[in-house]
Structure 1
Amino acid sequence: MGITRTPTSLTQSSATRGGIGESTLRPDGTLKVTGEFAYSSDLWHEDMLWGYTLRSTVAHAAIVSIDTGEALATPGVYAVLTYDDLPTEVKHYGLEIRDTPVLAHGKVRHHGEPVALVAADHPETARRAAAKIRVEYEPLPVITDEASATAPDAVLVHEGRDDHHIGHVPHPNIVHRQPVVRGDAAAAAARADVVVSGEYVFGMQDQAFLGPESGLAVPAEDGGVDLYVATQWLHSDLGQIAPVLGLPERKVRMTLSGVGGAFGGREDLSMQIHGCLLALRTGKPVKIVYNRFESFFGHVHRHPARLWYEHGATRDGRLTHVRCRIVLDGGAYASSSPAVVGNAASLSIGPYVVDDVDVEALALYTNNPPCGAMRGFGAVQACFAYEAQMDRVAAELGMDPVEFRQINAMEQGAVMPTGQTVDSPAPVAELLRRVKSRPLPPERQWETTEGADVRALPGGLSNTTHGEGVVRGVGYAVGIKNVGFSEGFDDYSTARVRMQAINGEAVATVHTAMAEVGQGGVTVHAQIARSELGVTQVTIQPADTQVGSAGSTSASRQTYMTGGAVKNTCEAVRAKVLDLGRRKFGTYHPAWATAELLLEDGKVVTDGGEVLAGIAEVLDDEVVDLELEFRHRPTQAFDLRTGQGNGHVQYSFAAHRAVVEVDTELGLVKVVELACAQDVGKALNPLSVVGQIQGGTTQGLGVAVMEEIVVDPVTALVRNPSFTDYLIPTILDTPTIPVDVLELADAQAPYGLRGVGEAPTLSSTPAVLAAIRQATGLALNRTPVRPEHLTGP
């Protein structure tokens, strides 16, 4: 790992140990690696029941009848619920469009849709009782792609749509459409010396988090319910749950439980409403834990996509124009498809300067599995296609692919296709230079004095080759990702900070609703508090809805937004502490009034280092407790005709160089190295930053060569809902991932930081594909690459 520290005035405000800029360890790290950490699936309550969900076995069908009699008669069963048993007139929920029924009504729209709920005294009893529910289906035509979705006689996935997007789409089976038009792409195409077009297919990826959906709902004496759950956004869940239950939000109290990964798959509801309904119906605590098979149906996935691109360039390597069309399959329900479309459209050209663009992005309603948020959020699919195009144009021009990218790379001050000026560092050319200049790993690493080390060969421990047909390839890619919520969304976060003296030591307590899903916010918030308040002891309270919203743990926003809220609140607390000191000690020490005062290592000091008092001495028996909100600068919605608008708050950039070895006879791929360079603005916790970059890189590797949810194109049934058949990278598949971290401060952001977690997921996938193309000479226009794509006719 190389960390390049760029001089900046946006440095930490104190020298307290364990503050920002240091690699502090996670407080939950040891518990997690030793198996002692309590996840939501470990929750337990005396006398609790177990909930189970009956799911549809077909993708699109009318529900003729549901017979629950035999299930209700099963010993140990306390309740069976269907749509008709829901307690209020509010029977739908959703992140952006409330189109998802709590339980299917009238018809089912995708394989695995919830149809009925069972609560019983044992999980196996609940499962067996659910199997006794008789559901009669009448098949309906299955919508699986754009052709079947937009045909003149197409069956509507949702009849009678009345959401706010309906006026902006050409067909009711289109969730949302966003064009981006700038300049005159048609005229620019006529001036191009080279024009290259291509079609690309991006497979459906699963978040593949290791902790399945789970939670515990406990009925309360006031008629409300306490819900302990693994989620990404407590307050969004609350706003969807309470209306269905017919309860005011104050009576639905939510507490974050241990989260075993998320990556976007926990932004939507899963068992939350179902668990609460069963708890309120039975008057007993109800726990629901999905098994792995059910988890594949219980959350959204990354949108599969079909993309068409056309790039033009002059002989000297300048891009003249880009035209593209991106079709995302949103599946049966909207989830966050409108926002994914906005990201795909606005970031569809990549981190390049192009004056003339013509873009159309849209998402479909189909009977395929619902798709929504996943790390990279629309930008991943676009990056796969535009980076393949950049390689093809460079080849057509006879140019080095990195040099071609650098010629067209944006810099600070560049204008996006949406008309927005990039007003913070955009070191695209430098990131590419860094990954290219890194020494290549040695060739033929499998050769040892004892013979071939099969672990270093394509195919690994399967021992299928000893290197006879293995060739090496090297590929490059770079991407651009927005940070934070966009398009005019009121994106804010809240933090409560309490400071007091306990046993003669000043201590701080930080309380937010931020969902800790593994990204390390619990570490960062403590670091911020130590830096701003000058204390060593910081307690991070459990996240719940007893404090204001922190927004979602997604969009690379939490360190920026909730970190910003913690910083702002700490600054206000610090001011109050210093005011207490001035009132208590200022009369006999003039430095209290005249000096620049700092809090460091438990003391109040002047900027010259003179100690004025201990912080605990200042506080004495006083308690300073404040709760404040933090907002980033405003954004605006994209124009629905032209796509123009300042839609994003910040951009992040990452570049990769992939080194692969391919057995061209057997179609096996070994990714040897995925070197990354990324600008993070400010590394608040360098160790955590590198971990985020390596994790995102590995997820991009997965979708490049192995990960895909396979859906039958005729029946829309999921074929591989298990980790036996849905493959994810293991430690044996993960290459060396050297990371070069730049710190070029964004003056608009707290400490100058830049969101980190998503950008590396973009560029790692096309870098791997580029390397495989170089090794094989094949076009390879889809993900993931399978052995048959490398050895077929």
Structure 2
Amino acid sequence: MSRPSGGPVPSVGTPGRAATAETADGIGTSPVRPDGALKVRGEFAFSSDLWAAHMLWGSTLRSPYPAARITGVDVAAALAVPGVYAVLTAADVPGDRHYGLEVADQPVLALDEVRYQGEPVAVVAADHPETARRAAALIQVDYAVRRPVTDPEAALAAGRLVRHVPIRRGDPDATAEVVVTGEYQVGMQDQAFLGPESGLAVPAQDGGVDLYVATQWLHADQRQVAAALGLPVELVRLSLAGVGGAFGAREDLSMQVHASLLALRTGRPVKMVYGREESFVGHVHRHPATLRYEHGATRDGRLVYVRARILLDGGAYTSTTPAVVANAASLGVGPYQVPNVTVDAYGVHTNNPPCGAMRGFGAVQACFGYESQLDRLAEALGLDPVELRIRNAMTEGSVLPTGQRVDGPAPVARLLELVRDRPPPPPAGTDPRQLPGGTGGTTSADQVRRGVGYAIGIKNVCFSEGFDDSAAARVRLELLGGEPTALVHTAAAEVGQGLVTVQAQIARTELGVTRVVVATADTTVGSAGSSSASRQTYMTGGAVRAACQALRARLLTRLPGPVPDRTELVGGQLRDDTGRVLASLVDLLAAGPVEETVTWRHRPTHPLDPMTGQGDAHVQYAFAAHRATVDVDPELGLVRVVEIATAQDVGRAVNPRAVLGQIHGGTAQGLGLAVMEELRVVDGIVRNGSFTDYLIPTILDVPPMAVDVLELADPHAPYGLRGVGEPPTISATPAIVAAIRAATGLPLSRVPVRPEHLTGTC
């Protein structure tokens, strides 16, 4: 990883704070993850590994139909199976029978109809998982099958609208000298995390339930579970269990309510673990999209207008579709300066599987559309595709189509230059391991064509449109064994992104201590919000920082005599700005521990105007660029991604090694969408719900990645940092497809690109 920004990294600190580079394992360092070695050795305890005495197993009966009316349910045969302790249907839900992140429209268990294949109808608890599954299969459900609505256009025409977001800026009738149009499609991508949905619900003596679960948002789960159980929120206690990946799919509930219902009914702990096929229908997916774009430009390549229509298939229930639609609309023209913009983005209900949050959250679909258009426009103008992008690149101070001014660094041109100027990979050789198709020997070197493609994307960071985005943190400083020790407690979900190190790094930096303990995330502390929207380092990091600063202020009151204006905690000592030691932490803590709980918020955002789409909707913007090099055998439809160069501005690399991992991982997920990942849904039925048929990139598919990291501080963010996790996913896909187009000359307007798209057999 290089840092080509040059010179010292700009940072944003607190008045009175000294530079933090000297702090061991603090901000800007890459401490070893405490869970890293355990995961590598296979010893880490994931949620599916949970166990309790007298534990029962839960299983779910799901609808085989995407649309049907339920005319009867008979559970007698299931209840008669030895070892079965409970069989529950919608009639057994004691509280609210519907749940949802934004709109409570999804039944806990299907009531009088089912709206997608895989919708839960009944749940069973038994003393063995196979017994529970056999019993669930014996439940007799009578269905009156209906014709499903699976075409988003038909759904829109039928009025099944979830949200429409219009963006209007400038002259809607603007004309241009050069015009290109295009229609693009993005398939349904699955988050494909390796750890399936799982958790353990334990009934409590106070009539409540303790739930240990892999999730992204403990307090959102708590709220919805309590409502469904008909219990006060304080009687539903959640603790984060080991999470085997998330990428957005764990924002919505899966087994949480079902396991809790069964535990309270039976009075025994109940564990639920989905199988892989069940997981594919048990969580939300990336919205499939159809995008129509028209770009107008001057003959020298200056964008005059963009007109776009974006249609997102939200599936059966709402989930986060309204927010995804807003992102697709507000970011729908990309990181470019365009004076005249008309965008209409729609989300609709169908009888396809529900769609919701996935890494990139609406920006992925839009980026494939607008970046494909920029390549078409470059061809029409006879311009280099990177040069065209640079001519229109937004900068700090640019005004977005929503009217919001970009008030932080926006190094769009610089990122493009970095990937463009990277040395190219070596030419293709004859070694079959380096050819499309690999060692199968199906491709000969003389059939291979090489292509290079570019793309850049924009992503908002944190929640938007006036959502009360906040995070709480409790930090305690005390003497343990005579050594100052910080205990950091938040409800932030560690889902693999490395937050467990970030919290400790901030505490070390702010408090000048070596020993930091990060407590298990649970609901006994205030909400940290969701581990999504690239927000946790920004939000929970900001909360931990604020709590530490409040602790430092408390410690200053223990000093005898006047308190200097500027102080710092370094190496267990409180010093003034001349370096003079005022007191040791050991002495200051001799009077007892100090503890502070802080709820931290970023600057306010505002809803988009429902008629014009104008408004300061977002907190922060992040940017990443990619150059992809591919080798293609067009006769056989085989693609090998040879190399990917990427550049990203991260504001401040709190943990440089983790930043690099996020860029690698996000790029790999974008590669998957480009050439292999699609959940195939035909007439509402999932056709490839397994890792045999739903392909994800392996180590053999992921090429070498050359990464440049800029650290241009955002003046409004803690430490100047910028959310990192999502941007690399956004532009990786269109860059790879652009490279395939360059190699083949084919228009390729749909992702993922399949072999038949290259051979002309589709």
Scaled by the length of structure 2, the TM-score of the pair is 0.98
- Name the counterpart of 1:724: 692
Q: Using the alignment, how far apart are the partners of 1:657 and 1:527 within structure 2?
A: 33
- Contact 1:416 1:422 (C-alpha < 8 Å) held by counterparts: yes
**Could you say which residue in structure 2 is the equivalent of 1:514?**
492
Q: Find the counterpart in structure 2 of residue 386 from structure 1.
A: 370
Give the Cα–Cα distance (whole angstroms) in 1 for the partners of residues 19 and 243 of structure 2: 32
Partners of 1:472 and 1:775 within 8 A in 2: yes
Which residue of structure 1 lines up, in the alignment, with residue 573 of structure 2?
A: 603
The aligned residue for residue 771 of structure 1 is 739
Offset of residue 596 of structure 1: 2.5
Q: Which residue among 68, 77, 81 is the counterpart of 1:74?
A: 81
Distance 1:501 1:4, change over 3 A: farther
The separation in 2 between residues aligned to 1:246 and 1:575, in whole angstroms, is: 42
Instruction: Report the secondary structure of 1:494's partner residue.
Output: strand
Separation in structure 1 between the aligned mates of residue 452 and residue 557 of structure 2, nearest angstrom? 60
Matched, 1:707 2:677: yes
SS at match of 1:552: coil
* CA distance, structure 1, for counterparts of residue 718 and residue 254 of structure 2: 34
Give how far 1:547 is off.
0.1
Q: 1:46 aligns with which of 36, 53, 63?
A: 53
- Judged with a 3 Å threshold, the aligned counterparts in structure 2 of structure 1 residues 2 and 64 are, in CA distance, closer, same or farther, namely same
**In the alignment, which residue of structure 2 is the partner of 1:749?**
717
Moved >6 Å (runs of 4+): none
1:7 Cα deviation from its structure 2 partner: 4.1
For the residue of structure 2 that corresponds to 1:468, the secondary structure is helix
Percent sequence identity over aligned pairs: 64
Q: For residue 4 of structure 2, what is the aligned residue in structure 1?
A: 4
Is the aligned partner of 1:327 residue 2:314?
no
State the Cα deviation string for residues 302-326 of structure 1 (Å, max 9, x = none). 0000000000000111001000000
| Worse overlay, 499-508 or 326-335 | 499-508
1:143-154 correspondence runs (5 A): 143-151=149-157, 154=158
Residues 497-536 of structure 1: pairs in structure 2 closer than 5 A: 497-536=475-514
Counterpart of 1:159 in structure 2 is none
Q: Do the aligned partners of 2:306 and 2:333 also contact (CA within 8 Å) in 1?
A: yes
Aligned position for 1:734 = 702
How far residue 146 of structure 1 moved from its aligned partner, in angstroms, is 2.8
Partner of 1:616, secondary structure, is helix
- Which one of the candidate residues 608, 623, 637 is aligned to 2:607? 637
User: How far off is 1:221 after superposition?
Assistant: 0.3
Is residue 115 from structure 1 mapped to residue 121 from structure 2 by the alignment? yes
Code of the residue aligned with 1:622 in structure 2: it is: G
* 1:31 matched residue in structure 2: 38
Q: State the shift of 1:611 in Å.
A: 2.4
1:419 is displaced (CA, Å) by: 0.3
Q: Alpha carbons of 1:563 and 1:66: their partners in 2 closer, same or farther (altered >3 Å)?
A: same
Q: Is the 8 A contact 2:472 2:528 kept in 1?
A: yes
Match of 1:408 in 2: 392
Alignment partner of 1:104 out of 105, 110, 113: 110
Q: Which residue of 2 aligns with 1:177?
A: 164
- Contact 2:564–2:576, Cα closer than 8 Å, also in 1: no
SS state at 1:4 partner: coil
Q: 1:139 aligns with which of 142, 145, 159?
A: 145
**Structure 1 residues 614-644: Cα deviation after superposition (integer angstroms, max 9, x where no partner):** 2112111411011001100000000111000
Partner of 1:681: 651
CA distance in 1, matches of 2:368, 2:711: 26
- Distance, in Å, in 1 between the alignment partners of 2:43 and 2:2 is 33
Name the aligned partner's letter for residue 216 of structure 2: Q
For 1:211, what is the secondary structure of its paired residue?
Answer: coil
Counterpart AA for 2:134:
R
**Is the contact between residue 104 and residue 114 of structure 1 (CA under 8 Å) also seen in structure 2?**
yes
C-alpha contact (below 8 Å) 1:238/1:252 kept by paired residues: yes
**Contact conserved, 1:501 with 1:621, CA < 8 A, in 2?**
no
Q: Residues 358-387 of structure 1: CA distance to partner in whole angstroms, max 9, x if unpaired?
A: 000011100000000000000000000100
Q: Is the 8 A contact 2:152 2:349 kept in 1?
A: no
Cα contact 2:290–2:310 (8 A) shared by 1? yes
The letter for the 2-side match of 1:641 is M
Counterpart Cα distance in 1 of 2:359 and 2:9: 31
**Aligned match of 1:552:** 530
Match of 1:314 in 2: 298
Write the distance in 1 (CA, Å) between the matches of 2:247 and 2:232. Answer: 30
How far is the alpha carbon of 1:86 from its aligned partner?
1.3
Structure 1: stretches of 5+ with no match in the other structure: 155-170, 587-591
d(CA) in 1 for partners of 2:451, 2:472: 48
How far is 1:613 from its partner?
2.5
How is 1:367-516 mapped onto 2 (pairs within 5 angstroms)?
Answer: 367-444=351-428, 446-447=429-430, 452=431, 454-516=432-494
| Cα distance, 1:9 vs structure 2 | 4.5
Alignment of 1:292-307 (within 5 A): 292-307=276-291
**Residues 490-541 of structure 1: per-residue CA shift (max 9 Å, x gap):** 0000000000112221110000000000111110110000000000000000
Contact 2:607 2:616 in 1 (8 A): yes
- Per-residue CA shift, 1:205-261, capped at 9, x if unaligned? 000000000000000000000000000000001111101101101100100000000
The farther-off stretch of 775-784 and 659-668 is 659-668
Aligned to 1:553, the other structure's residue is in SS state: coil
For the pair 1:652 / 2:652, whether they are aligned, the reply is: no
In the aligned structure 1, how far is the partner of 2:568 from the partner of 2:321? 47
Q: 1:13 to 1:241 in 2, by over 3 A?
A: farther
Query: Once the 2 structures are TM-superposed, how far is the Cα of residue 8 of structure 1 from its aligned partner?
Result: 2.0
Q: Would you say 1:60 and 2:67 are equivalent positions?
A: yes
Cα distance in structure 1, aligned partners of 2:553 and 2:528: 23
SS at match of 1:689: helix
What SS does structure 1 have at the residue aligned with 2:199?
Answer: strand
Say if 2:293 and 2:308, in contact at 8 Å, map to a contact too.
yes
Task: Describe the SS at the equivalent of 2:505.
Answer: helix
Kept in 1, the 8 Å contact 2:11–2:719? The answer is no
Distance 2:480 2:4 in 1: 40
Q: What residue ranges of structure 2 are gaps of 5+ in the alignment?
A: none
Does the 8 Å contact 2:11/2:720 carry over to 1? no
Which residue of structure 1 aligns with residue 517 of structure 2? 539
Match of 1:163 in 2: none
Q: RMSD of aligned C-alpha atoms? A: 1.1
Partners of 1:13 and 1:240 in 2: how far apart? 44
CA gap of 1:194–1:597, structure 2 versus 1, over 3 A, is same
The number of residue pairs the alignment matches comes to 754
Q: Which residue of 2 aligns with 1:162?
A: none
Letter matched to residue 10 of structure 1: V
Equivalent positions of 1:162-201 (< 5 A) are: 171=159, 173-186=160-173, 188-189=174-175, 192-201=176-185
Conservation of the 8 A alpha-carbon contact between 2:556 and 2:563: no
Q: Give the equivalent residue in structure 2 for 1:589.
A: none
Quick check: 1:432–1:655 contact (8 Å CA) kept in 2? yes
Task: Provide the C-alpha distance between the structure 1 equivalents of 2:439 and 2:123, rounded to a whole number of angstroms.
Answer: 44
> Relative to 1, partners in 2 of residues 1:54 and 1:611: Cα closer, same or farther, differing over 3 Å?
same
- In the alignment, the residues of structure 2 paired with residue 86 and residue 520 of structure 1 have an alpha-carbon distance, to the nearest angstrom, of 37
1:284-317, Cα deviation, whole Å (9 max, x unpaired): 0000000101000110000000000000000111
CA-to-aligned-CA distance 1:175-208 (integer Å, 9 cap, x gap): 111000101132x22xx11100000010000000
Q: Tell me if structure 2 keeps the 8 A contact 1:482–1:648.
A: yes
Aligned-partner Cα distance in 2 for 1:515–1:146: 34
Q: One-letter code of the match for 1:652?
A: A
Mapped to 1, the partners of 2:133 and 2:661 lie a distance apart of: 39
What is the alpha-carbon distance in structure 2 between the residues aligned to residue 409 and residue 236 of structure 1? 38
For residues 150 and 33 of structure 1, the distance between their equivalents in structure 2, rounded to whole angstroms, comes to: 47
Deviation at 1:728, TM superposition (A): 0.1
Check conservation: 1:296, 1:721, Cα contact below 8 A: yes
Q: 1:218 is paired with a residue of what secondary structure?
A: strand
